């Protein structure tokens, strides 16, 4: 199994987050270290446009054979295009055939090797097209609203008065693990009728986008050490 770690340099919410020191090592190293422990992953490749991220990744034991072109590192770039670029370049220039691959975002530092291997096992047991990590939403999604410029509420869902305990549980992707068959990525899909959720607890589902997320992850790592 190939693991791709996408890590562009132009983070807006928390500049430089991918190489920011978290509990004694750079954020991206947490993901690289867990990926390298996997009994199924045989190659860990980082996709980045940033030389400093590439250097940090290589120091942590990952490969970064080439930099991502600028047009795939902008705010408007689609992540699917990044995956296709990586797969095509690895195939044509490095003769690496990749029928399936895993994506591990560096912004999920609490994901463990047990999660990684568990998701791969689910992918293979189900002969899945994709497996994506999800976690339980504590508050019903039907409570969510849009707000207009005057802070008026705008309904997203049909409204029905009910206690939280009466409402069906919902789940959301936590950003930690994605496994795909190559063919569905080239069809520009992530989900088919052979897609499955790998469930993770909320304590391992922190997805770092802001300084608040970073501080919370640091706290959780500290109390676990």
Residue-wise pLDDT for 98-108, tens only, equals 999 999 999 99
- Give the span between the Cα atoms of 196 and 223, in whole angstroms: 32
pLDDT at 51 over 90: yes
* Rounded Cα–Cα distance for residues 186 and 212 (Å): 36
Per-residue confidence (pLDDT) for residue 164, from 0 to 100: 62
Which pLDDT value is given to residue 104?
98
pLDDT of residue 219: 95
Q: How many CB atoms within 10 Å of residue 91?
A: 13
What's the confidence (pLDDT) of residue 76? Answer: 80
pLDDT of 163 strictly over 70? no
Q: What is the pLDDT of residues 87-132, one digit of tens each?
A: 999 999 888 889 999 999 999 999 999 999 999 999 999 999 999 9
Query: Within a 10 A sphere around the Cβ of 139, how many other Cβ atoms?
Result: 10
Domain count, the chain: 1
**Contact assessment for residue 133 and residue 123, using Cβ atoms and an 8 Å cutoff:** no
> Residue 162: is its pLDDT beyond 80?
no
Q: What does residue 45 show for φ and ψ, rounded to 5 degrees?
A: -120, 130
What range does the domain containing 43 cover? 2-224
CATH of the domain at 146: 3.90.550.10
Mean pLDDT score of the chain, rounded to an integer? 93
């Amino acid at each position: 199994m190939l693991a791709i770690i996408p890590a562009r340099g132009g983070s807006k919410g928390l500049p430089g987050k991918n190489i920011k020191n978290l509990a004694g090592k750079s954020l991206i190293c947490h993901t690289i270290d867990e990926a390298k422990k996997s009994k199924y992953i045989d190659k860990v490749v980082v996709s980045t446009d940033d030389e400093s991220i590439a250097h940090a990744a290589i120091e942590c034991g990952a490969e970064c054979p080439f930099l991502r072109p600028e047009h795939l590192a902008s705010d408007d770039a689609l992540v699917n295009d990044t995956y296709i670029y990586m797969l095509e370049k690895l195939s044509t220039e490095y003769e690496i055939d990749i029928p399936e691959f895993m994506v591990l975002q560096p912004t999920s530092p609490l994901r463990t090797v047990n999660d990684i291997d568990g998701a791969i096992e689910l992918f293979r047991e189900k002969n899945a097209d994709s497996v994506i990590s999800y976690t339980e939403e504590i508050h019903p999604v039907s409570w969510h609203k849009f707000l207009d410029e005057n802070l008026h509420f705008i309904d997203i869902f049909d409204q029905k008065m009910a206690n939280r305990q009466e409402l069906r549980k919902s789940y959301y992707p936590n950003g930690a693990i994605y496994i795909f068959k190559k063919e569905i990525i080239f069809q520009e899909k992530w989900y088919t009728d052979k897609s499955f959720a790998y469930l993770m607890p909320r304590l391992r589902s922190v997805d770092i986008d802001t300084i608040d997320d970073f501080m919370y992850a640091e706290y959780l790592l500290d109390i676990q050490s």
